[in-house]
Amino acid sequence: MKEFVSILDELGARDVKTHIQSGNAVFQSKSDDAPHLASKIGSEIKKRRGFEPRVLVLRLEDVEEAIAANPFPEAESDPATLHLGFLTSVPDDPDFERLESLKKDSERFRLIDRVFYLHAPEGVGRSKLAANAERLLGVAMTDRNWRTVRKITEMAKEVGGMPE
């Protein structure tokens, strides 16, 4: 994570804070072009490490809107079971029929704009729906549980920046 912070610093990020060893960071940036910033971060990681991870930069407002739009508020009391999949774009043709066929009776999901909400009371580790959601949505996605989303949001408010 120290090298990740160094990369962000070199790209002009200020007040960088990271969340455990998760690859999540919050920071302030003069750039308002999140996709371009994500590309620069990915390219710099590739230069240093030889692989280019998918990087998604979100504005604090984007995450706050996703929290407010949560269609499963009753699941917030068990934050490990509620997941938000942040998508790189709105899916053109998600395969809802296949998604529905993969879900367990206990699972629920909803796609709202660029966020895939999944409530998986039995855990996402055994969920066929969770394992196949990105492919069936047809859009790159990064998934975080409710606890992590809330923690990153708190951290972003502290620095007045954007979670990544």
Residue 164: pLDDT band by 50, 70, 90 thresholds? very low
Rounded mean pLDDT of 13-28?
87
Q: For the whole model, what pTM was predicted?
A: 0.90
Sign of the CA dihedral running 60, 13, 79, 142: positive
Q: What is the pLDDT of residues 85-107, one digit of tens each?
A: 999 999 999 999 999 999 999 99
Name the token pair of 127: 């969920």
Cβ atoms of 137 and 87 within 8 Å: the answer is yes
Residue 22: pLDDT band by 50, 70, 90 thresholds? confident
Q: What is the pLDDT of residues 42-54, one digit of tens each?
A: 999 999 999 999 8
Q: What is the pLDDT of residues 123-162, one digit of tens each?
A: 999 999 999 999 999 999 999 999 999 999 999 998 874 4
**50: three-class secondary structure by DSSP:** coil
The pLDDT score that the predictor gives to residue 20 is 80
Interhelix angle 2-10/34-49, nearest 10 degrees: 130
